[in-house]
Amino acid sequence: AFTVIILGVIGARSFWIQGIQADDMATRPLLVRLPQTEPHRVNNPRLTAIAQRIPRGRILDSTGAVLAETRDGRRVYPCGEACAQLVGWLDARFGGPTGAEARYNRRLRGYDSTRDLLHLYRRKDLPFFRLPEGQDVTLTISREAQQRALRAIRRAYPNGNTAFVLIEPDSGHVLVAAGTPTFDPNQMNPALWQQLRTRKDAPLVFRPVDGLYAPGSVFKVVTAAAALEKGVPLRHLCRHSERNVRWKVGDKTFVKPRLSDHPSMRAHGTLGLRDAMRLSCNLYFAHLAIALQPESLYETASALGFQRIPKPDEMAPELPDCGFGQGKILASPLEVANLMATIARNGTWRRAVFTPGNNPSRPVLSDATAEALRQMLGEVVQTGTAYGIFTGTGWEVYGKTGTAETSEGNRKPHGWFAGVVQKDNLPPLAFALILEHGGSGREAARASRKILQQVLPVLQKR
Ligand SMILES: [Zn+2]
């Protein structure tokens, strides 16, 4: 079970929820989920004694490297700060178990419920009695890739907060989910805990999965997918800025006094979908959203796995903004990376997972739509907004920049880049990076290159 908590604010309100304060962080609301603590607390000291004698399983990465194990009665986390929020920690004094320690707690601890402990307690003096053992849990991530990603993130964006996700589309396995700020769970103590839970930059939040941000222009990929699927073609004359934009949803008419492209851009002139994507024209996608209507955009976004999309009636009053990923549209880095994975998979959707196992898929986009999107996103990298960034890497990359305006007018917008990278000897890999207040999608594309340069060589060895 997960609890939705809200971090960050619109305007001057502030929330204190589950002890985490964040009054001026983020921008748009950054919504996060934190795992609830164990529902079963063992209060009987005899049962506690039994529980403590059951060796707890280890948490391992995809190569068998240890992410968490018990040494001399103490839980240790060899991945350290690179996996802090993902692997989590056990200690109940510090809100534990959290992360994977919480999610797989039953398997790791070796018993299901207090009732199981009672059975064990009653049989403990019988001949041939043996205590059960906690099972190991294997995650899909790579410890070395996590650590390399964190180092590269810090070099690329030293003073900012970030989240990076890398997915193998063929399996849906999450190979990397890292970000900043972070901390070393091995160093946890009451003073550090107190600091972590009250810091305004919310280091306890697992940003790759639980951080929800305005996706900005990376969401144009979803709007384009909806238009291709529903057969809604559009050509539009972009004059950089428009006044009194009107649209209808059902029998309601809405008006927006002013709508414009990013200030650094000039008027794009008459555009079709390909050039609008390549040049990231907001006005085009605003009109495309109007042509699509909220129902179609909502349907496509939901099918692609976006869980925080406003319902069609909530979308209606801000439909043009929704078309380019602003308004009330929110997405996690994992959702954005999985959008790219879906395009790499020829339109087949599959959950992005942290443990291997049965992972059914379902078709959400046609082959033709997926192919058209790959072409367009290729042009973004070749001649569009991410032009030149990946030159000289020898990789094939397609992707989308995003510069997401935030409600804090005095802070820089978030920078996004999400795409697919193909390198010799590796399957295609989908990724997403957000630099909170990183300024622009181009900055995020540059940082993506630096992170991938560190991470891909380790994956090649698998
Ligand atoms: Zn434009």
Q: Decide if pLDDT at 461 tops 80.
A: no
Q: What is the mean pLDDT of residues 259-287?
A: 95
Ligand 1 centroid–CA 403 distance in Å is 14
pLDDT in tens, 204-227: 999 999 999 999 999 999 999 999
Ligand 1 centroid–CA 60 distance in Å is 48
Q: Among 165, 146, 161, which residue's Cα sits nearest to residue 199?
A: 161
With tokens 């199981």, the residue in question is: 116
Which pLDDT score, from 0 to 100, does residue 194 have? 94
Ligand 1 centroid–CA 411 distance in Å is 23
pLDDT in tens, 113-137: 888 999 998 998 899 899 899 999 9
Q: Decide if pLDDT at 37 tops 70.
A: no
Q: What is the mean pLDDT of residues 440-450?
A: 97
DSSP code string of 344-369: HTTTEEE--BSS-S---EEE-S-HHH
Ligand 1 centroid–CA 188 distance in Å is 50
Q: Decide if pLDDT at 35 tops 80.
A: no
How many percent of the chain have pLDDT more than 90?
A: 81
Ligand 1 centroid–CA 225 distance in Å is 19
pLDDT band at 42 (very low <50, low <70, confident <90, very high): low
d(CA 440, CA 155): 17
Q: Which domains does the chain have, with CATH numbers?
A: 216-460 (3.40.710.10)
pLDDT in tens, 287-306: 999 999 999 999 999 999 99
Which pLDDT score, from 0 to 100, does residue 41 have? 59
Q: What is the mean pLDDT of residues 236-243?
A: 95
* Side chain identity at residue 70, one-letter code: T
Ligand 1 centroid–CA 239 distance in Å is 7
Q: 339 vs 424, which has greater pLDDT? A: 339
Ligand 1 centroid–CA 146 distance in Å is 38
Q: Which two tokens stand for residue 124?
A: 């403990």
Q: Decide if pLDDT at 249 tops 50.
A: yes
Ligand 1 centroid–CA 382 distance in Å is 19
Residue 435 in contact with residue 462, Cβ under 8 Å? no
Ligand 1 centroid–CA 299 distance in Å is 26
Q: Among 190, 68, 44, which residue's Cα sits nearest to residue 116?
A: 44
Residues that place a CB less than 5 A from ion ligand 1: 238, 261, 268, 281, 283
pLDDT band at 325 (very low <50, low <70, confident <90, very high): very high
Q: Decide if pLDDT at 327 tops 90.
A: yes
Q: 3-state secondary structure string, 269-293? A: EEECHHHHHHHCCHHHHHHHHHHHH
